[in-house]
A and B are shown apart, each in its own frame.
Chain A
């Protein structure tokens, strides 16, 4: 019985990959064979596939966007040497009352930051819970731009990465240009 469950456990990762369309062809046959024989794993697979399809559906609901020629010209100009940086579009399109609101937000943020800093220095337990659920929510640039200048400690408080799934040694978080490892096959055209 135990061996049976171990077998299933080993298949689960492959089933997730299969559901998300990322399972290498070489591993497909054994996984599909197990799937055909195991009702428990079939149920699991259907559930993961529902998630996968939901994600595809989210991707598909994003409307097609036609790049504005003026925008193209603008960013190409911005990368020319000696050219001044681009103005964010979201910021300039903000009505005055909203801009005001964004300013107040920033002020509140600063106040909160000060308080937390005071707490940090007074107590020895500086653990401040991150509102993790806020990640990935829409990020109106206007607010972010307004905050950028006033919030010097923002970059220091990165949510601690979860390491529950890491079988490999801890990885460095990716740098903005992703690290290049070795020169490999040419994926650029072919």
Chain B
């Protein structure tokens, strides 16, 4: 996922934000145009399903619109949005948690098919075999992250899927930078102790 700095550079961004905060929905729409693709991709990483991801982002944006006045620029706008997205997502998951039958057993969610559909895309990265391996690894990590507590999960997702800085995470989670550091450390430590089968091959394609 492209997590390059997405801070909006259009000169009229500030004006759009100001107008949106005054209640102009069209300005909010234009403000979000350059951020939609990224949000959708972040949502797909969570839901693993394009339609569900679209719904999640819609919910997120409607929620963001309702509380836009409270965005005071103490963190990156995209991080603020992602925090709302996470919150909406966890609300969905929480609802699902109450059912006696695990969500994973639901037969109509075909993550494999969805992943396979994207395996044929022009690869600018690893070979198809490497990609399959990456997807297997992604699945394993998804399960592992699911086993973390909510607080641990949040910092992992904010750090790796939003590329959020420590102060931005602190701002968005309403805690101190020290707490964020400690949570991130413990979350990674828990994942490390799970002894996941992480292939060294897929490391080398990264940074």
Residues of A within 8 A of B (CB): 12-13, 16-17, 19-22, 24, 47-68, 71-72, 74-76, 78-81, 85-86, 88-91, 93-95, 98, 101, 105, 108-109, 112-113, 130-141, 143-144, 147-148, 151, 153-155, 157-159, 161-162, 164-168, 171-190
Contact = CB atoms under 8 A, between A and B. Distances in A.
Interface string B171-190: 11111101101111110110
B98 A65 contact: no
Contacts of A66: 37
Q: Place the interface of chain B in its size category.
A: 35 or more
B94 A155 contact: yes
Interface in B32-70: 33, 36-37, 40-42, 44-56, 58, 61-67, 70
Interface of B: 1-3, 7-9, 13-14, 17, 25-26, 28-29, 33, 36-37, 40-42, 44-56, 58, 61-67, 70-77, 80, 83-84, 87-90, 92-104, 106-109, 111, 115, 118, 121, 125, 131, 134-135, 137-138, 140-143, 145-147, 149-154, 156, 159-161, 165-166, 168, 171-176, 178-179, 181-186, 188-189, 191-192, 196, 198, 200, 202-203, 205-207
Given A47-B192, A95-B108, A159-B97, 18 more contacts: A17-B185, A22-B184, A48-B192, A51-B188, A55-B191, A56-B206, A56-B207, A57-B137, A57-B205, A72-B36, A109-B100, A133-B143, A139-B52, A140-B49, A147-B99, A167-B178, A177-B67, A180-B74
A132 B146 CA distance: 7
B179 A138 contact: no
Contact of B98 (A56, A85, A153, A182): A153
B74 A67 contact: no
11 contacts: A48-B189, A54-B203, A65-B40, A79-B65, A86-B58, A86-B62, A95-B108, A112-B100, A162-B149, A166-B179, A190-B7
B108 A94 contact: yes
B172 A135 contact: no
Contacts of B54: 68, 71, 89-90
B93 to A, nearest CB: 5
Nearest to A140: B109
A159 B93 CA distance: 11
A180 B171 CA distance: 7
A30 to B, nearest CB: 15
Contacts of B141: 54-55, 57-58
B146 A134 contact: yes
B54 to A, nearest CB: 5
